[in-house]
C-alpha cells in the first residue's frame, strides 16, 4: 500500500447460501463500516456467484503422468494457464490490503464452498512457494486478514473449558494454517454467537456491535497498512 494511493482495499469473501441470513446482514454491516473507515470494498459472494469449490484436474492443462495439484498450480502460474475464474479471484486477492472471510461456523470450521475457495485461489506459486516462501516470506506478507463469523452455539460454550472448547483453538487452523501461512498478519476475529436464538432487537444490537468492532479494526489496520 503506497502512501499516495487514495484508499486501501478490503476484499470480503462471503459464504452463506441465504441472502436474508444474519451472516449476510453481518457481512453487509462490516462492508459499510469498512467503507465508512475509508476502505474501498470488494465483495466476493461465493454462493451468489455459484463458485465451484472443488479443485479438480480438469481446471489445469492436460499432463502426462500422475496429477499433482500443487505442481500443476505452480506450472499454471509459470505458463499463464491458470483457470480464468481462479485467476480473476487471485488478482482480486492480490489487490486487497485486507482480506475478510465472512461465514457461518459449520462443523467448527469453514463452509465447504469457502474452504474450496482457499483450495483453488491460494495457489502454490501465486501466494506461497515458487518465488515466494512461507509465512513472513509468502506473497501476502504486509497485508492483513480477519475472520467475520457466526455460530449456532452460545459464547459460553466457546470459552476455554466450555462445552465445545476454546474458539481460538477452532480458528487456529484457519489463522495459522491458511492466513499466516500465506503471509497475512491476522487481526482479531469478529464473532456473533448464536444469532438464531436472538430477538430482532438483539440481532439489531449485535449488528451495531459488529459495526463498532469493524470500525475499530479498520481504523487500526488502515494506519498499519499505510
Ligand X SMILES: Cc1cc2nc3c(=O)[nH]c(=O)nc-3n(C[C@H](O)[C@H](O)[C@H](O)COP(=O)(O)O)c2cc1C
**Cβ-closest position to ligand X:** 152
Report the nearest approach of ligand X to the CB of residue 104 (Å). Answer: 3
- Nearer to ligand X by Cβ, of 108 and 132: the residue is 108
- Nearer to ligand X by Cβ, of 164 and 181: the residue is 164
- Nearer to ligand X by Cβ, of 16 and 120: the residue is 16
Report the nearest approach of ligand X to the CB of residue 26 (Å). Answer: 7
- Nearer to ligand X by Cβ, of 130 and 153: the residue is 153
- Nearer to ligand X by Cβ, of 54 and 95: the residue is 54
The tally of CA atoms less than 13 A away on the side-chain side of residue 225 is 29
Tell me which residues touch ligand X (CB under 6 A).
16, 21-23, 104-108, 150-153, 195-196
Report the nearest approach of ligand X to the CB of residue 4 (Å). Answer: 39
Distances in Å between the alpha carbon of 172 and those of 21, 37, 63, 135, 196? 26, 28, 35, 14, 25
CA angle 101–77–85, rounded 5-degree value: 50
Report the nearest approach of ligand X to the CB of residue 178 (Å). Answer: 18
Report the nearest approach of ligand X to the CB of residue 13 (Å). Answer: 16
- Nearer to ligand X by Cβ, of 17 and 142: the residue is 17
CA angle 122–9–140, rounded 5-degree value: 35
Report the nearest approach of ligand X to the CB of residue 36 (Å). Answer: 23
Amino acid at each position: 500500500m503506497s502512501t499516495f494511493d487514495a484508499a486501501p482495499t478490503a476484499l470480503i469473501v462471503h459464504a452463506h447460501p441465504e441472502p436474508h441470513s444474519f451472516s449476510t446482514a453481518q457481512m453487509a454491516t462490516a462492508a459499510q463500516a469498512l467503507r465508512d473507515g475509508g476502505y474501498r470494498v470488494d465483495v466476493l459472494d461465493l454462493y451468489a456467484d455459484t463458485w465451484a469449490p472443488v479443485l479438480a484436474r480438469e481446471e489445469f492443462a492436460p499432463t502426462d503422468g500422475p496429477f499433482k495439484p500443487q505442481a500443476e498450480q505452480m506450472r499454471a502460474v509459470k505458463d499463464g494457464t491458470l483457470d480464468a475464474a481462479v485467476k480473476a479471484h487471485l488478482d482480486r486477492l492480490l489487490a486487497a490490503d485486507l482480506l475478510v472471510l465472512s461465514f457461518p461456523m459449520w462443523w467448527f470450521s469453514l463452509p465447504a464452498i469457502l474452504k474450496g475457495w482457499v483450495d483453488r485461489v491460494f495457489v502454490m506459486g501465486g501466494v506461497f512457494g515458487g518465488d515466494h516462501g512461507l509465512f513472513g516470506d509468502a506473497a501476502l506478507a504486509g497485508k492483513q486478514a480477519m475472520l467475520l463469523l457466526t455460530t449456532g452455539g452460545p459464547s459460553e460454550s466457546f470459552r476455554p473449558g466450555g462445552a465445545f472448547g476454546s474458539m481460538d483453538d477452532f480458528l487456529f487452523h484457519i489463522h495459522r494454517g491458511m492466513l499466516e501461512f500465506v503471509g497475512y498478519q491476522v487481526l482479531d476475529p469478529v464473532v456473533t454467537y448464536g444469532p438464531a436464538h436472538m430477538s430482532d432487537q438483539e440481532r439489531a444490537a449485535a449488528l451495531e456491535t459488529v459495526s463498532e468492532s469493524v470500525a475499530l479494526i479498520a481504523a487500526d489496520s488502515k494506519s498499519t497498512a499505510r
